[in-house]
Amino acid sequence: MTEVVLAAAPTQILAERRRFRVLRKLAAHRSFKIGLVLVTILVLCAIIGPMLTGIDPTAMSIRSRFKPPSVRFPFGSDQYGRDILTRVLYGGRLSLSLGLSVALISGVFGALIGVTAGYFRALDPYVMRLMDALMAFPAILLAIGIGAALGAQASSIVVALSVAYVPRTARIVRASVLVIREMEYLQAARVSGAGDLHIILKHVLPNCLGPLIVQLTFIFAYAILAEAALSFLGIGPPPPAPSWGNIIAEGRDYSVEAWWVMLFPGLAVSLAALGMNLLGDGLRDVLDPRLKIET
């Protein structure tokens, strides 16, 4: 028994040291820090912000239509006299959670499909040809088609964008699995009688986590941008509940006279995407220096 404990201890310490090294490197990485601060601020604004303003984002007031930014309306008001600041804060809840959902769903299915294709080589050609075919359609067109099929609502945007990004994620995971499966520790595990499931969960998955996480931060950024574009095309989350995309879409008709309606939600989208991209760059440098950007 003692032997086992002794053998386990050093690897545990090593693993812990490695974890700290990654964290230390991240803490020293400038763009990671800037990105983290940006994203944290935006997330906090979306969670806490609406409670602070105490205004209903859908409350209309004909008398205060199209008010330019002022103390009462820091971001101005729209054609129904609604407070843009409040709408941007609430919109952040929808847009950010939408981006997160797309990233998580793409991550789970991308990992599942990528590991299947990379680990069980017999399935590889079939699975990857299907992924190639899905990738042949521009992501935004696929999302428009699926979004139109499922109807304009937040959940169909999540499905549509996930379908568009799963193949890209699967391809990255598969590429890592192909490298990992040739590693000696994997051969060792197999020789010592470990089953496929054990090998996948214990050895393969943890080792392709780095590239996967990097990819998911970029998908988060794309998803926020795509939600805005889809809303603009009329198949995003429907008004009156605000999302960053549909506030911009609604403000478009008044963009010359009331520029503030579309300016602020657009800035929010840009800052969120910028923050996630910075985070992704930092993670990529630390977790996976050799990874190339994939869209």
Partner 1 sequence: MFRAIIVRLMQSIPVLLLVAVLSFILMHLLPGDPAVVIAGADATPAAVERIRSELGLDQPIWQQLLSWFLSLAQGKFGSSLVLNQTVLSAVAERLPVTLSLAALSLAITLPIGITLGILAAYFRSSWIDAGVMMIALVGVSVPSFWIAILSVILFSVTLGWVPSSGYAPLLTAGPGPWFASLIQPAMVLSLFQIGFLARMTRSAMLDVLDQDFIRTARAKGVSEWRTVGKHGFRNALVAVVTVGGIIISLLIGGSVVVEQVFALPGIGRLVVQGIMARDYPLIQGTMLLFGFAFVLINVAVDIIYTLVDPRVRYD
Among 113, 144, 158, 219, binds partner 1 (CB under 8 A): 144
Q: Does 158 bind partner 1 (CB under 8 A)?
A: no
- Cα–Cα dist 146/247, whole Å: 22
Give the span between the Cα atoms of 53 and 59, in whole angstroms. Answer: 13
Give yes or no for residue 157 binding partner 1 (CB under 8 A): no
Stretch of residues binding partner 1 (CB under 8 A), selected from 18-26, 97-105, 178-186, 249-257: 249-257
Site for partner 1 in 207-246 (CB under 8 A): 221, 225, 228-229, 232-234
Nearest distance in Å: CB 284, partner 1: 10
Which has the closest alpha carbon to 166: 112, 229, 221, 209? Answer: 112
Contact 224, 273 (CB under 8 A): yes
The widest CA-to-CA distance across the chain, in whole angstroms, is: 79
Task: Tell me which amino acid residue 204 is.
Answer: V
Name which position in 134, 189, 209, 213 contacts partner 1 (CB under 8 A): 134
Contacts of 235 (CB under 8 A, 6+ apart): 144, 147, 148, 152, 157
Residues in 251-280 that interact with partner 1 by CB under 8 A: 252, 255-256, 259, 262-263, 266, 269-271, 273-274, 277-278
Show Cβ contacts of residue 294 under 8 Å, excluding neighbours closer than 6 positions.
Answer: 168, 171, 172, 215, 218
Element housing 30 (H / E) = helix 30-53
Candidate residues 68, 138, 195, 206; the one interacting with partner 1 per rule CB under 8 A: 138
Among 139, 158, 214, 258, contact with partner 1 (rule: CB under 8 A) = 139
- Choose which of 27, 123, 133, 188 interacts with partner 1 (CB under 8 A): 133
Write down the least CB distance from residue 225 to partner 1, Å. Answer: 5
Per CB under 8 A, 132 contacts partner 1 = yes
Whether 166 and 110 have beta carbons less than 8 Å apart is answered as yes
d(CA 22, CA 30): 14
Nearer to partner 1, 204 or 276 (CB): 276
- Please identify, using beta-carbon distances, which residue of 60 and 229 lies nearer to partner 1: 229
**Quick one: which of 15, 41, 141, 201 contacts partner 1 (CB under 8 A)?**
141
Q: Give helix then strand counts, H and E, for the chain.
A: 12, 0
Q: Compute the distance between CA of residue 26 and CA of residue 281 in angstroms, rounded to an integer.
A: 11
CB of 37 to partner 1, least distance (A): 15
- Using the contact rule CB under 8 A, the part of the chain among 46-54, 83-91, 136-144, 199-207 near partner 1 is 136-144
Neighbours of 94 (CB within 10 A): 21
- The residues of the shown chain that bind partner 1, judged by CB under 8 A, are 129-130, 132-142, 144-146, 148-151, 221, 225, 228-229, 232-234, 248, 252, 255-256, 259, 262-263, 266, 269-271, 273-274, 277-278, 281, 292-295
